[in-house]
Amino acid sequence: MAGLAVFLILAGATLVYFGFRSKWQEKSVQGQLRTIYASQVASGQPPLQRPEGDSGRGDEVEETIPPILPDDREEADEDFDISRLRPFAILKIPKIKIEAVMVEGVTPNDLRFALGHFPGTGLPGQKGNLAVAGHRNFITGDFFGHLDKVVPGDQVIVEYYGVIYTYTVTEIFTVEPGDTWVLNPTPEPQITLVTCTPPRVSTHRLIVRGILENAP
């Protein structure tokens, strides 16, 4: 019994250690990404562009919907490379006090310390479906840790190339990982937020959708 107690204490301490280390790394990487994003905006060149009238899905899309949790936390840390990240926007959800840099891509490297934009989906403020993925796990990132607390009428704010776009949440629902139709283009400017659910089990995907309310 004493051995089991010691094991549980050590296991708990290990989880806490990795959790706090992950949060420290997340804060550091987010700070660096903000600096890169700010320099891109100052240069006068949008980080990502798409031809006028293109609503997205021009690239190949996934057969299943990320985010996928890495099996080995240590290996994920060792493989992480910030130089491969392409920050291009900042996403805020006031209701759950989230403000994070969004990068292009939804690979494990992209999602390790940032939100990820599904390649080929819409861009902020433009016609189409702006699809964004994020983790909700204390170890691998909890940007969307409280996304289930969002309700219709809440705001999702995206800063893109120095311009602010506000989306109003219209619906929240759950789908299977294979239901990639949620990434399909839409005729109107829309945002789709994606995360795993239930937490730590991740058998499904929680979807939060909203429509653009303001456009400069």
The alpha-carbon radius of gyration of the chain (Å, integer) is 18
In 3D space, the residue among 52, 28, 40, 140 whose CA is nearest the CA of residue 90 turns out to be 40
- Catalytic site residue 117? no
Residue with tokens 């839409």: 186
Q: Are 199 and 181 in contact (CB under 8 A)?
A: no
Residue 33, token pair as written in the block: 């990404």
Q: Are 133 and 207 in contact (CB under 8 A)?
A: no
- Catalytic site residue 196? yes
The single residue of 57, 112, 117, 135 carrying the catalytic annotation is 135
In 3D space, the residue among 190, 91, 78, 178 whose CA is nearest the CA of residue 143 turns out to be 91
The single residue of 57, 117, 205, 209 carrying the catalytic annotation is 205
- Catalytic site residue 135? yes
Catalytic residues: 135, 196, 205
